[in-house]
Structure 1
């Protein structure tokens, strides 16, 4: 019995494809769309009609392979001949060298005994000879070497800002940082201030705009108050001259720090006033001291004469520097009067001189400014000061050689004739060298006699001399040149042999009067 097959499902109709847009944007109506697969294929072909570009681009052609030309076989030289540096000929390759064999001992001995060939002489190439047929000409003479011009003086620095740290320090009158005591700086007598003095010379008075500018410029590089004060002291020497006309005419007018800076002229009061003003602007305590000075016009009081009445006609400074009080005379340190003419002459011994030494020529109205310690006997009276016997006349070269005035012997200006006198001279500081190579020879001279001073056990130079009654004067000299050469380090023995045989020049140091 056969079972009837189930009926097939109805055939699903394929939906029509979407309309194709040609490059000409031709619209196709719905009733014009063909039916069936054949019609669809035909419609695709019809849709391509009117396109200006193909649907698929043609692939690029495959490049043809470039065949490399075969390299020519090398041509070996024939009989060792070459043409233009290129091998020629077509001879057979060179034969293989024979296998190396060890030479006999005789051959080695002869080879070692043979002298090596001389080194080849280096010759210039043909190319260099052709391009440089003659040696290059010598460069022209450049003339003398140029000298570097001197550094111009610095223009004044603007005053410090009131909000700056420097301004606050300048307004504070308390002492600065303690002085750094070490082997080089512990002694002010032999301390080197050359760097400070050189800096102080960079600010001419005509370039200074104000006292504030000047104080800042002079002291800004230096950390210690002793250096700041030295810069001010040295600047006064370079820029302020003593008003000799006003002094000798008696027409001395009151001055201020501003007027002294403007005029460049001053007497002792102007020097001390300007020093005080500049010092206070950088925070240094400084006072102007008024009193008597044994300067121009002073005459020592003779024995038996009454004590002169006190008079004051000089001014100097007392400054608190790095924890200690010091005495400074900027007027005497700047120069001196030679008759009625002022001579600008730097005298650094008046900067921080020891109180005992300073007190021999300065007597303040206020005894506290003597700075005399109990070890030195305390303050001296007016009578002891003014009645002290006059000492020998001391010349400038004495101070230039760093000699000690208080230790000079004999201490009195007058020497009794017909007696034996002891002459001694010392360096002003025990740290200074007394070696023969570092010093000149000192001599005592009177009449035609010249007696050299020899180094003694006390660290100075001395000589005992018989003084004739008619000697008149006795002078202390140093030998400066021998036969035109510098006599420093010449030595006493060499000097004794040269006396009367070689020409010499001398420098005056001190003088005594024989009575």
Structure 2
């Protein structure tokens, strides 16, 4: 009886957490064209931007696709913000109260720069994805955790260093990382280069978990099947 219950639970979990191949029948060309049509739009009025990106699309996944493509093709990563954030995390890791006060002010700077210059770090990408998705009537969450860099294993990472999103489509949760989809930072001059990587859009959880580990383990989805 116990084995039957476990099997039912595992099957239920599989049904809840799926991946992009659930949408193989969807052609994203229209969503991508709409995102391109509004390239260069400002972030001064997010409700209007969300409406422009999604009003002509029929399915939730297409609406989210248009939002995701727009964000990853219009918002630049900022090395100096990322570097400052990492430095202060390390410096104040043993002083939570001081870090909280610093982070509160830093977030204001992040969002102001995002709005004014369309430049940000992972927190800003995740925030913008969530805000636009919510405005389009989609359920979306910001996930904080660890993004694996170089050859450093998760167990050797002292502090959380990354943020991404979970999006609910057709009553299932999917994972995506707009930061890593958008492009790369050229470390020779610390400039950002747009270079879209589509694999982080609704990536299969077991693959996503190889490079992402959330603080809240429930957002790993298939994390238990992934290898470090």
What is the match of residue 219 of structure 2? 369
Question: What is the count of residue pairs matched by the alignment?
Answer: 187
Q: Deviations over 1:94-143 (max 9, x none)?
A: xxxxxxxxxxxxxxxxxxxxxxxxxxxxxxxxxxxxxxxxxxxxxxxxxx
CA distance in 1, matches of 2:62, 2:22: 14
> For the Cα contact (< 8 Å) 2:43–2:116, is it kept in 1?
no
What is the match of residue 355 of structure 1? 205
Q: Deviations over 1:181-220 (max 9, x none)?
A: xxxx964368531221111011134455501100110111
The equivalences for 1:255-294 within 5 A come to 255=108, 260-294=114-148
Secondary structure of the corresponding residue to residue 223 of structure 1: coil
Q: Structure 1 293/208 Cα, relative in aligned 2: closer, same or farther at 3 Å? A: closer
The equivalences for 1:34-433 within 5 A come to 187-188=22-23, 191-207=26-42, 209-250=44-85, 253-255=106-108, 260-295=114-149, 298-300=150-152, 307-339=155-187, 340-372=190-222, 379=224, 388=228
TM-score in terms of structure 1 length: 0.34
The equivalences for 1:363-512 within 5 A come to 363-372=213-222, 379=224, 388=228
Structure having the higher helix fraction is 2
CA distance in 2, matches of 1:257, 1:188: 33
Q: Deviations over 1:257-281 (max 9, x none)?
A: 6652332111000000011011111
> For the Cα contact (< 8 Å) 1:240–1:266, is it kept in 2?
yes
> For the Cα contact (< 8 Å) 1:272–1:288, is it kept in 2?
yes
Secondary structure of the corresponding residue to residue 206 of structure 2: helix
Runs of 4+ in structure 1 over 4 Å off: 206-209, 249-252, 255-259
> For the Cα contact (< 8 Å) 1:268–1:315, is it kept in 2?
yes
What is the match of residue 103 of structure 2? none
Secondary structure of the corresponding residue to residue 23 of structure 2: coil
Secondary structure of the corresponding residue to residue 65 of structure 2: helix
C-alpha displacement of 1:354:
0.4
Secondary structure of the corresponding residue to residue 201 of structure 1: helix
TM-score in terms of structure 2 length: 0.72
CA distance in 1, matches of 2:121, 2:152: 23
C-alpha displacement of 1:245:
2.6
CA distance in 2, matches of 1:259, 1:300: 30
CA distance in 1, matches of 2:23, 2:58: 16
What is the match of residue 92 of structure 2? none
Q: Deviations over 1:434-493 (max 9, x none)?
A: xxxxxxxxxxxxxxxxxxxxxxxxxxxxxxxxxxxxxxxxxxxxxxxxxxxxxxxxxxxx
Q: Structure 1 196/354 Cα, relative in aligned 2: closer, same or farther at 3 Å? A: same
Say which structure, 1 or 2, has more relative contact order (CA 8 Å, 6+ apart): 2
What is the match of residue 513 of structure 1? none
C-alpha displacement of 1:239:
1.3
Secondary structure of the corresponding residue to residue 107 of structure 2: coil
Secondary structure of the corresponding residue to residue 173 of structure 2: strand
C-alpha displacement of 1:299:
2.6
Q: Structure 1 206/195 Cα, relative in aligned 2: closer, same or farther at 3 Å? A: closer
RMSD after superposition:
2.6
CA distance in 2, matches of 1:210, 1:223: 23
Secondary structure of the corresponding residue to residue 254 of structure 1: helix
C-alpha displacement of 1:223:
1.7
Q: Structure 1 207/193 Cα, relative in aligned 2: closer, same or farther at 3 Å? A: same
